[in-house]
Structure 1
Amino acid sequence: MGRRPRLGGWRGTGPRAFLLAASFLITLGSFAVLPYMSVLLHQRLGLGLGTVGIVLAVASLVQFSGGVAAGALAARIGSRATMLTALAVRTAGFAAFVPGTTSPVLAVGAVILVSCGAALYLPANKAYLVEGADEADRPRLLSASGAAFNAGIALGPPAAAPFVLGSPTVLFSCVTALFALVGIGHALLPPAAARPVADEARDATGDADQPQRHDDGLPPFAVTVLSVYVFMFFQHYLALYAVPRTSVAYYGAVLTGYACLLVIAQPLLSRWIAALAYRDAMKVGFGSMAAGMAVIAYGGHTGIGAGAALMCVGEVVLFLKNDLEALARSSAAPASVFGRQRLAAGLGAFGSGVVGGQVYAGAEAMGSARGFWLAVCLQALLLPVLLTAVVRRRIRASIPEPGSERPSSQRQRPPRG
């Protein structure tokens, strides 16, 4: 039998090119709405801030933890069918916002539907990109996907700003139509490519059950939890710190510059990140985040801008490396791997949300919000060291001590005859 053609790299990747373009459009449409959700629910529909917080917390939990369900669904019906299901759910959710602009019940239901669709889509999207691709091509594919998503994140909010409160029905109608068209395009995609022959051979011999790279056994799931935990302090609390010390316009410029830097840096650094040992990637990533937090604590326009740039470097290195390492260490289908990674991200974000509010409130009560960023800086330095120490201790405990085995004369001999 002939060798099946591979679809690695960028050769003959029309479906992948479409998927990258669709990733941009999907994020553009989503972030034309989602960043303003608290404003819409509170100011237009009159929900209390406590209720708004609960709705958004539940939506975030669904969006992250639902990645596990996405992996299971993709294993049963395939990544393309899972993406179609996700887009149908998200389209229905945005459509429900049209009458939901006057109904709190419909609006809350729409938020949950959109979150369910997002939970199903991203693991299947990444799985479709890497299925059938050589391992050497995965960093470029995943970094290109991240760049497409971040470009949509950067452009979505300013594109929707003129319509959010004045003409929300027009905004939601346009986003619904966009998702419907993108869904039609997904329906025309071919089934995902088969796994590379080398991967199938590894599975057949059982080698796929073993990690391809050990790096002291650091588990990507735990490192992902820790990466997102540290990063979300920056995501959640920079606005509270930066706006009073600079201006709303400067804060917006920082966010736009951050997104543009992600779009440019991640593809450029993808091969270098892939070549890094996992432990070295952790040093670079968490070190950059710690430095970013310390510089932000310095304050002012320069400190906040430079600190955000350092945080961007940490995100680029850690988030891509975590996904690559999770893929390399698992024999499971890519959609299942990415689903578990989404769950890890959700746990990290949840932990950061629970801890961050208390720490920030305590820092403000002490009269110095800078103390918050220094506390997070220390966490970024110490927690990876503690995780590495715990993993090493468990590895040492699993290795039998010399002389612990019975002498050969006492071992059970096979029966004769």
Structure 2
Amino acid sequence: MRGNEHVVSALTRAQLFLLGASFLITLGSFAVLPYMSVLLHDRFGLGLGVVGAVLAVASLVQFSGGVVGAALAARIGLRATMLVALAVRTAGFAAFLPGLTRPVVAVAALFLVSCGAALYLPANKAYLVAGCGRERRPGLLAASGSAFNAGIALGPPAAAPFVLTSPAGLFTGVAVLFALVGAGHLLLPSVADGTAPAEEGVSARAAEEEAEPALGRRQLPFAPFAFTVLAVYVFMFFQHYLALYAVPRTSTAFYGAVLMGYAILLVGAQPLLARRLAALPYAAALRIGFGAMAAGTAVLALGGRAGIAVGAVLLCLGEIVLFLKNDLEALERSTAPSATVFGRQRLAAGLGAFAAAVVGGQLYGMAERASAVPVFWLVVSAQAVVLPVLLVVCVAAGAPARAASRSRPATRAESKSR
């Protein structure tokens, strides 16, 4: 607790504003986005196949576009990038108003909103940790994650009474909210994208992790990217298919309570665990995180209220450990600007989410047709165990060849080509 109190007391006004803005941005976004399938299908009459394709592409744009956001931040700066992103998102939510009578405009508005989200997040995170050393990053990123997740949790229930009865008022309110948040960003001072020099003790920790034969930094320099792909891939099975599984076996009210409890646990526990996660060796964090996801999805296979509730708690633990630790490791292992690092991490998350959407639908459909839906969760659990191990084995097997290639003297022909 003392470490978290230190982080809170040391926050600048700009950092406090960004944390508040993160909450309001996700609150407004998730007042609309979770209901897009309902609006596109029920109001506009689009087929479910078309709706699924639109949402899949929009999600991929929102995640993979983080690389573009990072490049823009490198060119025009962090604050300017956030302002451009918020202007795009404000225009997108405003465009939903004429889109209420024209489906093509509504789809275009959705893509505008997705593009704005892609541009905003890398610059937001980079600005939050700019000038901060390694000791402060875990608390700041954990606080940012909690702010985002609090908005995600409260947005859908806040908007539920207005989505179908008065969507025009909802879209207007969200557009005004984004315009006001954007105006607030105008008051932020400009900062350079970078972090302070590492504190004492970092070199010792790096040396300690270098000694880990399977997961040393030199063997897996791309590890945070690859393990983020796998973590999001496994997690999105839970995100996409828990409702289909839980509601028929329990009730809508129980499912809603599980989601609310999940959000409260995530928002509260992530800042409390941030410093411990930062001190945890990467290999241990991966074992704990993927182990929790494997155990959680296996428990879901039991069904019933207890199985679903306990499974959700374990999945929440896995999300807290893997998502935060991978971001921290990505920052430490890269010499690139922070926005570039976060942009790559968003791309990794997008690849994992896209793969889960493609594979998950097929797996769940097969399990449902075989009247063996619990087996679906056992297959997901097995993937959470096997895939990380396969990644480590494949990289470790190729490490000697890469080391030999790096140490081999250049031939005369190679020297001339250089």
**Which TM-score applies when normalising by structure 1?**
0.90
User: Alignment partner for residue 394 of structure 2, among 390, 393, 401?
Assistant: 390
Give distance in 2, aligned partners of 1:10 and 1:109. 43
Does the alignment pair 1:296 with 2:300?
yes
Which amino acid in the other structure matches residue 290 of structure 1?
A
Q: Which amino acid counterpart does residue 275 of structure 1 have in structure 2? A: A
CA drift of 1:106 comes to 1.1
Corresponding residue for 2:62? 63
- CA drift of 1:399 comes to 3.6
Shift in Å at residue 357 of structure 1?
0.9
Instruction: Give the secondary-structure state (helix, strand or coil) at the position aligned to 2:326.
Output: helix
Q: Secondary structure at the match of 1:298?
A: coil
Q: Which residue of 2 aligns with 1:370?
A: 374
Q: What is the aligned partner in structure 2 of residue 273 from structure 1?
A: 277
Residues 195 and 345 from structure 1, CA distance in 2 versus in 1: closer, same or farther, beyond 3 angstroms? closer
* Superposition CA RMSD, Å: 2.1
Q: Which structure is larger by alpha-carbon Rg, 1 or 2?
A: 1
Matches within 5 A, 1:244-259: 244-259=248-263
Deviation string for 1:263-306 (max 9, x for gaps)? 00100000111111111111000000000001110000110011
1:153 positional shift: 0.5
Number of residue pairs the alignment of both structures matches: 390
Assess, with a 3 A threshold, how the Cα gap between structure 1 residues 196 and 366 changes in structure 2: closer, same or farther.
closer
- In structure 1, the partner of 2:22 is 23
Q: Which residue of 2 aligns with 1:172?
A: 171
Contact kept, 8 Å, 1:212 with 1:329, in 2: the verdict is: no
**Within 2, Cα distance between the matches of 1:195 and 1:63?**
24
2:351 is aligned, of 321, 341, 347, to 347
Partner-residue secondary structure (3-state), 1:144 = helix
**SS of the counterpart of 1:388?**
helix
1:46 aligns with 2:17: no
Residue 9 of structure 1 and its aligned partner are, at CA, apart by 7.2
Answer whether contact 1:9 1:137 (CA < 8 A) is retained.
no
Say which SS state the counterpart of residue 135 (structure 2) adopts: helix
Q: Name the SS for the 1:323 alignment partner.
A: helix
For 1:388, the aligned partner's letter is V
Query: What SS is found at the alignment partner of 1:266?
Result: helix
Is the 2:139–2:271 Cα contact (8 Å) retained in structure 1? yes
- Once the two structures are superposed, the pairs formed by residues 332-343 of structure 1 within 5 Å of their partners are 332-343=336-347
CA distance in 1, matches of 2:249, 2:256: 13
Does 358-367 or 144-153 show the bigger shift?
358-367
1:135-214 to structure 2, matched below 5 A, reads 135-192=134-191, 195-196=194-195, 198=197, 214=210
Aligned to 2:415: none
Instruction: Give the C-alpha shift of residue 396 in structure 1.
Output: 2.7
Compare 190-199 and 338-347 and name the one that shifted more.
190-199
Deviations 1:10-34 (A, max 9, x none): 5251100000000000000000000
1:306 and 1:135 map into 2 onto residues whose CA distance is 33
Q: Equivalents in 1 of 2:159, 2:10: separation in Å?
A: 36
Aligned amino acid, residue 362 of structure 1: M
1:131 and 1:195 in contact (8 A); partners too: yes
Residue 41 of structure 1 contacts residue 47 of structure 1 at CA under 8 Å; is this kept in 2?
yes
Instruction: State the partner residue of 1:318.
Output: 322
Closer, same or farther: CA 11–50 of 1 in aligned 2, 3 Å: same
Q: Quick one: distance in 2 between partners of 1:182 and 1:233?
A: 33
- SS of alignment partner, residue 190 of structure 2: coil
> Residues 329 and 169 of structure 1: is their aligned pair in 2 closer, same or farther, counting only changes over 3 Å?
same
Question: Which residue of structure 2 lines up, in the alignment, with residue 411 of structure 1?
Answer: none
Amino acid at match of 1:49: L
Unaligned runs of 5+ in 2: 1-6, 410-418
2:237 corresponds to 1:233: yes
Distance in 2 between residues matched to 1:191 and 1:15, nearest whole Å: 10
Residue matched to 1:120: 119
Instruction: For 1:175, give the aligned amino acid.
Output: V
1:102 maps onto 2:101 in alignment: yes
C-alpha displacement of 1:98? 1.3
CA distance in 1, matches of 2:94, 2:380: 40
> How far off is 1:398 after superposition?
2.9
Please state whether the residue corresponding to 1:188 is helix, strand or coil.
coil
Structure 1 residues 102, 110: closer, same or farther in 2, change over 3 A?
same
Contact kept, 8 Å, 1:64 with 1:346, in 2: the verdict is yes
Give a deviation string over 1:123-158, Cα, whole Å, max 9, x none. 111000111011110000000000000000110000
Larger mean CA deviation between 330-339 and 45-54 belongs to 45-54
Equivalent residue number for residue 356 of structure 1 = 360
Secondary structure of the 2:197 match is helix
Consecutive unaligned residues in structure 1, runs of 5 or more: 1-7, 200-206, 407-417
